[in-house]
Amino acid sequence: MRPSLFSSCSEETHVRFSLARKVYAASVVFSTAMEEGARLVLTTSAGLRAGEKVLVVIDEGTRSVGEAFLAAAKGLGTDPALLEIRARTTDGEEPPEPVGTAMAAADLVLLATTYSLTHTHARRSANRAGARVISMPGIEEGMLRQGGLATDWAKIHEVVRRTARRLRGAREVHLTSAAGTDLSFSLEGRDWISEDTGLCTRKGTVTTLPAGELFIAVVEGSASGRLVVDVHFEERLRGPATAQIADGTASRIVGAQAAVDAMNRGGKDGRALGRFGFGLNPQARVMGPHLEAEKAVGSAHLGFGDNLVIGGKIHPGVRVECILSEVRVEVDSRAVIEKGRLVE
C-alpha cells in the first residue's frame, strides 16, 4: 500500500523538527559553557562585585564572546553595558573617543577584541581613572568553552608565584622537545618575571588574558644548540622550522621565512636569543592562538631580539617569538616541566 502524500510530509516534518531540537540543544550547551568560562574570568580574575559598573568592548568578530560576558555579568548582580566598535586594523590602534570616555567611567572594562587595545591611551586613561581592565586580544569562543580562559585565576596566580620562588637564583636551563630541540643557555644574575598571573582585582590594574607564563631574560651570548620549532615562529607553522644557535645567535634558519625577515630588521641582535618562558596554565591549548599556546603547560616560548624591558641588555627594535610543544625543561639539572606537566 502506497503511503499518502500527507503521511510523507508528516514524516519529513518530524525529521526536521527533531533535527532542529538537537541543534537548539547543542547551541544551549555551547552558550552555557561559554557563559561559565566568562563567569570564571569575572569572579576569579576580576573579583567582580554586585553593583559594579561593567563595560564590555567588542568588535564584529567577537560578538558571541561579548554576549557570554554580558550574560555572566548580569547573573552576578551587575547591569553591564556592551559597546561594539569597528575591528581595528592593528594592535594598539585607539578605539573611538566615546568608547574611551565610557572605559574611564567603568569599574571593570573587558576588552574582548580581535586586535589588542592593551597599549592604547584609552586603556591607560581608564586605569588612571581607577578602572580595572582585562584585555583579551584575539579571543575566540573555544578559549571560553574549554581553553585558556576557562580556569581559576587564583590558582594560576598561586602556581606561577610558587614556581618563581622555587626557581629563584637559577643559573642554567637545558631545553629539549619531542620535535628535536636540544638547547642550553644561562640565566645567571637574571630574575624571573612572575606577573603574568591573570589577577585584576585591585583598582587601576590591568591584565592580559589568557595568562599563566613564567619568563626571564636569557644571558646574551650564552645559548647554544639546535632549535626545532613546531607551533609558531612569527606565524603559525605548517611544518617544523629549524635553527642552529651558537654564542647566543641563531643561524641557518629553515622553514620560517617570516621570522628570518623580522630578525633581519634588527641586525645581528635581532637574531640573539633574549627571552625564555614556559606555560603553567593547564587549560590553555598549545594548538590554540599563539597568545594562548605560549601559556599551555608543556609549551616553551622563546624570544629573539628585544629583552631590555625584562632585565636584559639588547634592544634592536624587533622581537621575534617562537613556541615549542612537548618540551622538557631542566633548570640547574632538575626537571621542571616534563611530559606535559609541572614537576613539583
DSSP 217-267: EPPTT--EEEEEE-SEESSB-SS-EEEEEETTEEEEEES-HHHHHHHHTTT
Q: Is the bond leading into 210 cis (omega within 30 degrees of zero)?
A: yes
Distance, in Å, from the CA atom of 152 to the CA atom of 205, rounded to the nearest integer, reads 19
C-alpha cell at 253: 634558519
Give the pLDDT score at 320. 97
Residue ranges of the chain with pLDDT lower than 70? 1-31
Query: Of all helices (H) and strands (E), which one includes residue 34?
Result: helix 5-40
- 56 Cα distance to chain centroid: 19
Give the pLDDT score at 24. 35
Give the pLDDT score at 32. 85
**What pLDDT, in 10s, does the model give residues 261-310?**
999 999 999 999 999 999 999 999 999 999 999 999 999 999 999 999 99
Give the pLDDT score at 13. 52
Give the pLDDT score at 130. 98
Determine contact, residues 174/240, Cβ cutoff 8 Å: no
pTM above 0.85, yes or no: yes
Q: Which residues lie closer than 8 Å to 107 by C-beta, 6 or more apart?
A: 52, 53, 54, 130, 131, 132
User: Tell me, what amino acid is at 269?
Assistant: D
Give the pLDDT score at 19. 44
Distance, in Å, from the CA atom of 142 to the CA atom of 151, rounded to the nearest integer, reads 13
Determine contact, residues 278/212, Cβ cutoff 8 Å: no
How many CA atoms lie within 13 Å of 326's alpha carbon, on the beta-carbon side? 9
| Helix 121-128 × helix 97-104 angle, to 10° | 20
Q: Where are the domains of the chain?
A: 26-145, 153-342
Check whether domain 26-145 has CATH 3.40.50, yes or no: yes
